[in-house]
């Protein structure tokens, strides 16, 4: 079951973005599985995608379309990834864009397609196209929560975050949704994520903001170490708040916007981990005193990806040997293990190359029984630090993935 509070907050509308939902029976009947996002003319849009070489047809088409036009519509389906589908998959993605473009009287290149679900099966494009008029008829500014539900696959909860802030008496909004519960080790994106703000921003500023936000959120989570074929993340700046366009990363408005965007992205990313398939523990892996952030991440991911570590945490077994083995497997050159210190929350379990003299098994067991646990590693070789978020592996993770297609 999910770890912690995953309830949707009040999802503030973002002027300039309207959302419509439909039941298209992409995979299952009687469930919302199709969403259309309409973006106001003149908005700025930035996106990042999976680095998986076997990326899905919609990812390839999105990349192409972004080089040709500014997006006006996003079309998102769940239940079918349209990945591993060859030329037919690309034709189906193109057909989806063409159908929506015809209905909305925009160019096909102004539509970005997104899919999530089972890999290797052809998208039932006829059903998707049949659902588009229903989604368009439902377009409104207050459908963010509905969209969060419509893009779910094995998620048990819809995922959303929303904030408002003020500068010089003017209120601004940042709202977003994400989905993902398995096949999570994003690389430049998340499974699916869509965030919008009403602030006006130049393309270069928006691109840089998206990159920085993703790198400290969706690129710092892992459930099972698998990077999806369909990972996509979009940041939209509608410019409807009436501010003078932000053309450089400076000033009070940008600083407050940046902070809000980072908080929204962090919440969306951590919700994915909290809803990880079969998760019972939310684990923060914090690595400090490294020579670089890269090596801190290498150590953090080595711990977070280890099935032995993750199953030990599920069992609340303080088998700290698995943690130090994962640290040693991270590939750090000339690591002086005598300087490494490892903590479970505030309990020091390892120092001077072995078990900390004051550590007791009872201390470790008490921490391991918590729903939320901090694993803190001090490498003793520099000033860099970074953090990765993950979850445990339970029996249910195996059951969910063994039965995924049934």
- Asked if residue 248 and residue 205 are part of one domain, the reply reads yes
Please, are residues 284 and 374 in contact by the beta-carbon 8 Å criterion? yes
- Asked if residue 253 and residue 216 are part of one domain, the reply reads yes
Residues 196-244 pLDDT 10s: 999 999 999 999 999 999 999 999 999 888 888 999 999 999 999 999 9
Indicate whether 403 pLDDT > 80: no
Q: What is the pLDDT of residue 277?
A: 85
Q: What is the pLDDT of residue 406?
A: 53
Token pair 């969706």 in the structure block, residue: 218
Q: Which residues form the catalytic set?
A: 190
Q: How far apart are CA 396 and CA 303, in angstroms?
A: 21
Residues pairing with 35 in the sheet: 21, 76
Q: Is residue 4 part of a domain?
A: no
Q: Is residue 12 part of a domain?
A: no
Q: Is residue 249 part of a domain?
A: yes
Q: Is residue 2 part of a domain?
A: no
Burial class (CB in 10 A: 0-12, 13-18, 19+), 177: buried
Q: How far apart are CA 310 and CA 222, in angstroms?
A: 11
Structure tokens belonging to residue 247: 């053309």
Confidence of residue 405 (pLDDT cuts 50, 70, 90): low
Residues 162-177 pLDDT 10s: 999 999 999 999 999 9
Q: How far apart are CA 366 and CA 360, in angstroms?
A: 10
- Asked if residue 183 and residue 122 are part of one domain, the reply reads yes
- Asked if residue 294 and residue 268 are part of one domain, the reply reads no
Q: Is residue 243 part of a domain?
A: yes
As a whole-number percent, the residues of the chain with pLDDT over 90 amount to 90
Parent domain of 174: 17-274
CA 32-38-42 angle, 5° bins: 165
Q: How far apart are CA 87 and CA 85, in angstroms?
A: 7
Confidence of residue 99 (pLDDT cuts 50, 70, 90): very high
What is the value of pTM for the model shown? Answer: 0.94
Looking at every residue in the chain, the average pLDDT score rounds to: 95
Please, are residues 140 and 164 in contact by the beta-carbon 8 Å criterion? no
Mean pLDDT, rounded, for 255-276: 96
Which of 308, 279, 306 has the alpha carbon at shortest distance from 398? 279
Q: Which of 274, 309, 324 is the last residue in one of the domains?
A: 274
Q: Is residue 10 part of a domain?
A: no
- Asked if residue 257 and residue 348 are part of one domain, the reply reads no
249 sits in the region (left: phi over 0; alpha: psi -120 to 50; else beta) called beta
Which of 53, 46, 100, 98 has the alpha carbon at shortest distance from 73? 100
- Asked if residue 213 and residue 331 are part of one domain, the reply reads no
Please, are residues 312 and 349 in contact by the beta-carbon 8 Å criterion? no
Residues 324-347 pLDDT 10s: 999 999 999 999 999 999 999 999
Q: Is residue 29 part of a domain?
A: yes
- Asked if residue 216 and residue 121 are part of one domain, the reply reads yes
Q: Is residue 11 part of a domain?
A: no
Please, are residues 165 and 260 in contact by the beta-carbon 8 Å criterion? yes
- Asked if residue 39 and residue 188 are part of one domain, the reply reads yes
- Asked if residue 243 and residue 187 are part of one domain, the reply reads yes
Q: Which of 274, 302, 330 is the last residue in one of the domains?
A: 274
Q: What is the CATH number of the domain that holds 48?
A: 3.60.70.12
Q: Residue 221: what are its φ and ψ, rounded to 5°?
A: -130, 155
Q: What is the pLDDT of residue 190?
A: 63
- Asked if residue 288 and residue 270 are part of one domain, the reply reads no
Task: Work out the number of other CB atoms within 10 angstroms of the CB of residue 13.
Answer: 18
Q: Which of 237, 254, 274 is the last residue in one of the domains?
A: 274
Task: Work out the number of other CB atoms within 10 angstroms of the CB of residue 137.
Answer: 9
Helix (H) or strand (E) holding 133: helix 125-137
Length of the chain as a residue count: 406
Total domain count for the chain? 2
Please, are residues 55 and 83 in contact by the beta-carbon 8 Å criterion? yes
Indicate whether 280 pLDDT > 90: yes
- Asked if residue 159 and residue 128 are part of one domain, the reply reads yes
């Amino acid at each position: 079951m999910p770890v912690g509070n995953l309830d949707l907050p009040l999802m503030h509308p973002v002027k300039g973005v309207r959302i419509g939902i439909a039941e298209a029976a992409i995979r299952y009947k009687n469930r919302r599985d199709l969403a259309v996002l309409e973006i106001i003319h003149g908005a700025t849009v930035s996106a990042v995608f999976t680095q998986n070489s076997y990326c899905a047809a919609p990812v390839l088409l999105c990349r192409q379309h972004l080089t040709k036009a500014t997006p006006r519509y996003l079309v998102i389906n769940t239940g079918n990834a349209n990945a591993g589908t060859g030329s037919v998959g690309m034709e189906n993605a193109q057909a989806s864009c063409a159908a929506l473009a015809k209905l909305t009287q925009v160019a096909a290149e102004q539509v970005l397609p997104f899919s999530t679900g089972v890999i290797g099966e052809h998208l039932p494009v006829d059903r998707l196209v049949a659902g588009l008029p229903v989604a368009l008829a439902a377009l409104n500014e207050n459908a963010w929560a509905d969209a969060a539900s419509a893009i779910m696959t094995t998620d048990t909860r819809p995922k959303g975050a929303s904030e408002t802030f003020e500068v010089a008496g003017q209120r601004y909004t940042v709202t977003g949704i994400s989905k993902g519960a398995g096949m999570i080790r994003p690389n430049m994106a998340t499974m699916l994520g869509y965030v919008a703000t009403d602030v006006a921003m130049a393309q270069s500023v928006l691109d840089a903001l998206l990159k920085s936000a993703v790198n400290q959120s969706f690129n710092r989570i892992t459930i099972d170490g698998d990077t999806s074929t369909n990972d996509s993340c979009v940041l939209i700046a509608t410019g409807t708040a009436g501010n003078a366009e932000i053309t450089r990363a400076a000033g009070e408005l940008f600083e407050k916007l940046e902070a809000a965007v980072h908080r929204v992205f962090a919440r969306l990313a951590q919700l994915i981990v909290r809803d990880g398939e079969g998760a019972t523990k939310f684990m923060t892996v914090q690595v400090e005193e490294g020579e670089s952030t890269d090596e801190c991440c290498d150590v953090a991911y080595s711990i977070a990806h280890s099935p032995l570590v993750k199953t030990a945490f599920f069992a609340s077994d303080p088998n700290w040997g698995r943690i130090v083995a994962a640290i040693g497997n991270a590939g750090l050159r000339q690591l002086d293990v005598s300087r490494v210190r490892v903590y479970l929350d505030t309990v020091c379990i390892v120092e001077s190359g072995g078990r900390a003299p004051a550590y007791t098994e009872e201390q470790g067991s008490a921490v391991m029984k918590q729903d939320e646990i901090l694993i803190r590693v001090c490498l003793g070789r520099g000033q860099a630090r970074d953090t990765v978020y993950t979850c445990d592996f339970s029996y249910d993770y195996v059951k969910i993935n063994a039965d995924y297609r049934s």
